[in-house]
Amino acid sequence: AGGAVIAYLARTNPALLPLLTGLRTETPGRWVSLDAATRRNLELTRSFGTGGSRGSLLAVLDRTCTAMGARALRRLIGQPSCDLSELRRRQGVVAALADPERLLTRAALLTALTSVGDLERLTSRVTQGLAGARDYLALGSALRVLPDVVAALRSGDQPALAELAADLDPCFDLLDLIETAVEEDDAGSARVRPGFWPALDAAEAGAAETRRWLAGLERCERERTGIRSLKVGFNKVFGYYIEVTRPNLSHVPPDYVRKQTIATGERYVTTPLKEAEARVLAADEEIAGLEREALIRLSAAVTAAAARLSATAGRLARLDAQLSLAEVAMRSDWIRPVLEEGDVLEIVGGRHPVVEATLAGEAFIPNDCRLGGDARVLVVTGPNMGGKSTYLRQVALIVLLAQIGSFVPAGAARIGLVDRIFTRIGAHDDLAGGASTFMVEMVETATILHQATARSLVILDEVGRGTSTDDGLAIARAVLEDLHDRVGARALFATHYLELTALAAALPGAANAHVAALEEDGRVIFLYAVRPGPADRAYGIHVARLAGLPPWVADRAEAVLEAYGAEGAARPAAPVDDRVLDTRFVAEVADVDYQLALDGFPARSGRAERLARNLRELDLGSMTPREAIDWLFEQQGRL
């Protein structure tokens, strides 16, 4: 596989090969597995509301000052780690950078990293042979501030930062080479420094000598001809010329060759002028070619050290990302979680990082979560709009933040590492794929049950709501029991089926929690506080009123609800089509292939199989010839 990758690069873009510094294998257990549904439901890098990064977790965490740091932060969010030692090392760096006493260190690092710019992109351009003199000046400027980064890391007297400083290669030899090769001239343009490429120096000296001759030609010709208004000019159409006004045409020497007539006079050329013009044009082309040769030589020298440059750029990008995490932790009052290999999940005073950031100073109601050990499944009930989904996402995001090495929004946290995070939240269909809302929900739930392990974190929100109440309740209970009995994952299960709360008494690893609310004067007040025990009702009609449902409709809903709850009241039965009672109609409908085949379900019998079955069931001994012919015509009509 590695050879195929190298062969593909060599055939399609060989300029990228210098960036390939080595191959390594990735073990499945090294990173936390996040499927597409989880990335979408948790809004890691893309928000439902804005369609972009604004309103996502990435937007909350991104305080980077370089483009490569922003890319590194995005990679961290998308690939949480399961390596406890690596996570503790990251935590140490974030803790050192977030220390209030290290304000000067942070300021120095921010200033230095801003000057570094996008070292990764510069390295890529150099190795692909796309860099010009200006790119090398930018590369030199980036390398020039590396000692400042190292000094800032060492000034904090923190072992974690000192370790970063020790791993950072300042690349002094490359900086010396670049400073020898390129410079910025007085006009602010980048050019090859004199002395780096002798052939280029000679060509530029010759061109400069010719231009000096051209600059003095006007004075010399005025003295020779006595024409004080004589001018030497240049345009892109005719090149260099000598211009003489009409009153002085009688003084034009015989060696002048007319080139162009204009309204105010004539334009001429001479043999020395044409020769000087040819030398200048040839020198310009030669200089451009020699500049390319000089930059190619410089590119080859820098590319030889591409591995070192890439490593330095990667470390600076990660430092920028961790500096961003430290900045957010310090400003938002986040804490350092305790990480361990066990199955504990204890969060005290947890907060949703994105929701809290959008409250603009308003207080966020913190909530606790305790899973692991004997209690592995938490059934969360409560009213609509009460904060159940926010609570579920909050727990998942805190675990994810902990496993990228970040601080977390909580009062305290003790987290056993997870190998996978699964979420089943929200309702959406897949019209292009031919999947209904309920089908999408069941596919995602099936994926979770097949792939989750005892070390996984599972977030399920209102499983079974896309079908009938009885079917949905049965499916939700079966899923909950399977998570408890077979999978053994730490799971939060939000539901409106209050019947499921009784499972806490039957399942030893299950517990109940609810989102508190108060009813006052016919109005519901959401407390957004998660408390132990089950909820007593869902307050759906109250929320419908808040959403603007017409009062007469809400009043009728309450009346119907009271009728359902009255003792002995029966719910109205669904109307039944009389044709369903006709066995001939049932047989006719059953004979039509209207159901698409679904993966994982046995295929329905085909027409040929049904015909064979009907044929086997015939009692030929008791049939008359007329009945046999009628039966054949009937079967033919069905085909």
Looking at residue 186, what is its pLDDT?
78
What is the rounded distance in angstroms from the CA atom of residue 192 to the CA atom of residue 428?
Answer: 59
pLDDT of residue 20: 76
Which stretch of DSSP H or E encloses residue 268?
strand 265-269
How far apart CA 489 and CA 456 sit, in angstroms, is 5
| Residue 59 or 212, more confident | 59
Query: Which position has the higher pLDDT, 612 or 458?
Result: 458
Tokens 């309103």 appear where?
A: 55
- Supply the DSSP symbol for 361: T
Positive or negative, the CA dihedral 446, 447, 451, 454 is negative
pLDDT tens, position by position, 550-577: 888 888 888 888 887 664 444 444 444 4
pLDDT reading at 637 higher than 90: no
Report pLDDT for 566: 65
Output b/e per residue, 424-462; b: 16+ Cβ within 10 A. bbbeeeeeeeebeebebbbbbbeebbeebeebbbbbbbb
Q: Is the pLDDT score of 492 beyond 50?
A: yes
- Note the pLDDT tens digit of each residue in 349-400: 999 999 999 887 788 999 999 998 888 999 999 888 888 999 999 999 999 9
Confidence label for 431 from pLDDT (cuts 50, 70 and 90)? low
Tell me what percent of the residues of the chain surpass a pLDDT of 70. 91
Give CATH 3.40.50.300 domain extents, the chain: 338-538
Mean pLDDT of 220-233: 90
**What is the band of 50 on the pLDDT scale with cuts at 50, 70, 90?**
confident
* Contact (Cβ atoms closer than 8 angstroms) between residue 370 and residue 530: no
* Interhelix angle 306-332/84-98, nearest 10 degrees: 60
The per-residue pLDDT for 60 is: 94
Highest mean pLDDT (candidates 153-157, 250-254, 524-528) = 250-254
Q: What pLDDT, in 10s, does the model give residues 585-621? A: 334 434 444 344 444 444 545 667 777 777 877 777 7
For residues 481-503, give the mean pLDDT: 91
β-pairing, 239-245 vs 257-262, is unpaired
CATH number of 198-296: 1.10.1420.10
The helix/strand/coil state of 135 is: helix
Q: Is 551 helix (H, G, I), strand (E, B) or coil?
A: helix
How many C-alpha atoms does 602 have within 13 Å on its Cβ side?
3
pLDDT digits (tens, 9 = 90+) for 295-331: 888 888 888 888 899 999 999 999 999 999 999 999 9
- For 62-171+305-332, CATH gives 1.10.1420.10
- Cα 506 to the chain's mean position, in Å? 42
pLDDT at 278: 87
Q: What is the pLDDT of residues 156-184, one digit of tens each?
A: 678 888 898 899 998 999 999 998 988 88
Helices (H) and strands (E) in the chain, counts: 24, 17
For 338-538, CATH gives 3.40.50.300
**Tokens representing residue 423 in the block:** 């979420």
Question: What is the H or E stretch that residue 186 is in?
Answer: none
pLDDT tens figures, 533-548 = 988 877 788 888 888 8
Distances in Å between the alpha carbon of 46 and those of 39, 60, 210, 591, 597?
9, 12, 61, 47, 34
pTM (2 d.p.): 0.78
Q: Provide the pLDDT for residue 607.
A: 67
Task: Report how far residue 159's alpha carbon sits from residue 593's, in angstroms, rounded to the nearest whole number.
Answer: 71
CA distance 98 to 93: 9
* Cβ contact 524:387 at 8 Å: no
| Cβ neighbours, 10 Å, residue 132 | 14
Domain with CATH 1.10.1420.10 in the chain: 62-171+305-332, 198-296
**Beta bridge partners of residue 217, listed in sequence order:** none
> What SS3 class is residue 183?
strand
Beta partners for 420? 33
Phi, psi of 636, rounded to the nearest 5 degrees: -65, -40
Residue (of 391, 441, 402, 474) closest to 37 by Cα position:
441
Q: Are 110 and 326 in contact (CB under 8 A)?
A: no
**Cβ–Cβ under 8 Å, residues 466 and 441:** yes
**Cα 293 to Cα 289: distance, rounded to the nearest angstrom:** 6
